[in-house]
C-alpha cells in the first residue's frame, strides 16, 4: 500500500493515538509537570518551582535509595543472566523440539500466577522456622536468616525475572545457525572457544535484551524489596509509594519517578548501543 491516507486508514490508526495520548502520554507528562508544582498546606497548586527537586536531590536518603536500587537491579540482571544461561543453552541445544516447546510453555505459566502470592510463598519458605531451614536442619545446617535481607530480595527478583530471561536467551540461542557451530568444530575449535567466539557473539542481542528486561523489572519492583527485603534501606519504588501515600506529597514522588525513568532510558540506550554497536 502506498502512503495514501484514506478514511479507512484513519479509522484503524487513530484509536491508538487517541487512547495512548489520553491515557499514557497524558498521565506521564502530567507527572513530569507535577514534579514542579507547589505543595502548601497539603494542597497542590500548578506552578513551576524547583523546590521538590531540591528537596529530594539534596537528601541523603534519596541517594541511598538510588544506590541500593541501582545496585540490586544490576546484580539481579547479572545473576539472572548467568543462572539462566546454562538452562537456556540446554533448552536450545540439548532438548528435542517438542521438549523445548513444553519447557517454554511451562516458563510462561509463572507470568499468569500472582507475583504477590509467589512472594508470599517465599516468605513462608524462607522463614526462620520454614521448610527450607527445617530441611537444612536435618543435615545439621542453619537456621539461616534469609528474610528481610538482600538475599530475600534477590530471591524475589529472580522469581520475577528468571523465566523471562530464560525464554529470551533460549530464543536467541535456538536461532543460531547450526552450520556456524559445526564449522567451528570442524575447524578444530574447542568447545570453550566455540562458545566464546561463535555462540556468545551470535546470541549477543538476545542475551543483552534479557539482561535489560531483568534490570527494568527489578529496578521498578516494590514487592520483593518490601516483603522479602525488609524495605530497609528502601528502594526507589518503595520511596514513591511512601511519599505518595503520605499526604499530598505527590510532586516529590514524581521527582523520584522522573529520576527512575531517566535512569531506565540511559540503561536502555547503553544496552542498544552494546547490542547493535560495533561488531568485530
Partner 1 sequence: MKALLPRLYLVAIFTFVFAPIVTSMVFSFNSDRFPTVPLGGFTLHWYETAFARPEVWTAFGNSALVALSAAALSTALGFATAYTDFRYNFRWKPAYLALALLPPTVPLVIMGLAMLAWLGRLGLSGTLPGIVIAHTVMGAPFAMAICRLRLSQMDPSLEAAAWNLGASPMRAMRVVVLPFCMPALISAFCLTAAVSFDEFVVAWFVSGLNKTVPVMILEILQGNVDPQINAIGTVVFVTSMTLVIAAQLIILRKTSR
Q: What is the footprint of partner 1 within residues 29-58 (CB under 8 A)?
A: 30-31, 34
Tell me which stretch binds partner 1 (CB under 8 A): 27-35, 181-189, 191-199, 203-211.
27-35
Which residue of 151, 189, 264, 275 would you call a contact of partner 1, by CB under 8 A? 264
For the stretch 23-35, what's the b/e string if a residue is b when 16 or more beta carbons lie within 10 angstroms of its beta carbon?
Answer: eeeeeeeebeebb
Which residue of 75, 181, 216, 275 would you call a contact of partner 1, by CB under 8 A? 216
Enter the C-alpha cell of residue 213: 528486561
Q: Which is nearer to partner 1, 4 or 280 (CB)?
A: 4
CA-closest candidate to residue 164, choices 97, 95, 98, 87:
87
Enter the C-alpha cell of residue 259: 529520576
Q: CA 44, 48, 54: angle at the middle one, nearest 5?
A: 85
Q: Does 219 bind partner 1 (CB under 8 A)?
A: yes
Is the CA virtual torsion 237, 224, 232, 67 positive or negative?
negative
Give the shortest CB-107-to-partner 1 separation in angstroms.
Answer: 7
Contact set for partner 1, span 175-214 (CB under 8 A): none
Q: What is the CA radius of gyration of the chain?
A: 23
Q: Does 28 bind partner 1 (CB under 8 A)?
A: yes
Q: Which is nearer to partner 1, 109 or 280 (CB)?
A: 109
Give the shortest CB-277-to-partner 1 separation in angstroms.
Answer: 19
Which residue of 78, 82, 135, 136 would you call a contact of partner 1, by CB under 8 A? 135
Give the shortest CB-219-to-partner 1 separation in angstroms.
Answer: 7
Q: Are 251 and 52 in contact (CB under 8 A)?
A: yes
Which residue matches cell numbers 561463535?
Answer: 198
Q: Which residues, at least 6 apart from 124, have a Cβ–Cβ distance to it below 8 Å?
A: 130, 131
Cα distance between residue 154 and residue 75, in whole Å: 8
Cα distance between residue 128 and residue 88, in whole Å: 33
Q: Which is nearer to partner 1, 76 or 257 (CB)?
A: 257
Q: Which is nearer to partner 1, 119 or 184 (CB)?
A: 119
Give the shortest CB-166-to-partner 1 separation in angstroms.
Answer: 7
Contact set for partner 1, span 75-134 (CB under 8 A): 83-84, 86-87, 89-91, 94, 103, 105-110, 112-122, 124-125, 127, 129-131, 134
Give the shortest CB-280-to-partner 1 separation in angstroms.
Answer: 28
Q: Which residues, at least 6 apart from 155, have a Cβ–Cβ distance to it below 8 Å?
A: 122, 126, 146, 224, 228
Q: Are 127 and 121 in contact (CB under 8 A)?
A: no
Tell me which stretch binds partner 1 (CB under 8 A): 141-149, 176-184, 195-203, 218-226.
218-226
Q: Does 163 bind partner 1 (CB under 8 A)?
A: yes
Give the shortest CB-138-to-partner 1 separation in angstroms.
Answer: 10
Give the shortest CB-43-to-partner 1 separation in angstroms.
Answer: 13
Q: From the centroid of its chain, how far is CA 163? A: 12
Q: Are 272 and 259 in contact (CB under 8 A)?
A: no
Give the shortest CB-220-to-partner 1 separation in angstroms.
Answer: 2
Q: Does 240 bind partner 1 (CB under 8 A)?
A: yes
Amino acid at each position: 500500500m502506498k502512503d495514501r491516507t484514506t478514511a479507512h486508514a484513519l479509522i484503524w490508526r487513530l484509536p491508538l493515538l487517541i487512547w495512548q495520548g489520553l491515557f499514557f502520554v497524558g498521565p506521564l507528562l502530567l507527572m513530569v509537570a507535577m514534579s514542579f508544582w507547589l505543595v502548601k498546606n497539603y494542597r497542590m497548586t500548578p506552578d513551576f518551582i524547583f523546590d521538590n527537586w531540591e528537596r529530594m536531590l539534596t537528601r541523603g536518603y534519596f541517594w541511598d535509595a538510588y544506590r541500593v536500587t541501582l545496585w540490586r537491579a544490576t546484580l539481579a540482571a547479572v545473576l539472572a543472566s548467568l543462572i539462566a544461561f546454562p538452562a537456556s543453552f540446554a533448552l536450545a541445544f540439548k532438548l528435542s523440539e517438542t521438549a523445548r516447546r513444553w519447557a517454554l510453555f511451562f516458563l510462561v505459566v509463572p507470568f499468569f500466577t500472582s507475583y504477590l502470592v509467589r512472594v508470599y510463598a517465599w516468605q513462608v519458605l524462607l522463614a526462620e522456622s520454614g521448610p527450607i531451614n527445617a530441611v537444612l536442619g536435618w543435615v545439621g545446617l542453619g537456621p539461616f536468616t534469609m528474610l528481610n535481607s538482600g538475599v530475600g530480595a534477590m530471591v524475589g527478583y529472580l522469581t520475577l525475572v528468571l523465566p523471562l530471561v530464560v525464554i529470551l536467551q533460549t530464543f536467541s540461542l535456538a536461532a543460531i545457525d547450526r552450520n556456524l557451530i559445526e564449522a567451528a568444530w570442524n575447524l578444530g575449535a574447542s568447545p570453550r572457544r566455540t562458545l566464546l567466539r561463535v555462540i556468545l557473539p551470535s546470541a549477543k542481542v538476545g542475551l543483552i535484551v534479557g539482561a535489560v528486561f531483568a534490570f527494568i523489572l527489578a529496578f521498578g519492583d516494590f514487592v520483593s524489596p518490601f516483603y522479602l527485603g525488609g524495605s530497609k534501606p528502601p528502594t526507589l519504588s518503595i520511596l514513591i509509594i511512601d511519599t505518595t501515600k503520605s499526604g499530598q506529597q505527590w510532586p516529590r514522588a514524581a521527582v523520584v519517578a522522573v529520576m527512575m525513568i531517566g535512569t531506565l532510558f540511559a540503561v536502555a540506550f547503553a544496552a542498544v548501543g552494546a547490542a547493535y554497536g560495533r561488531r568485530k
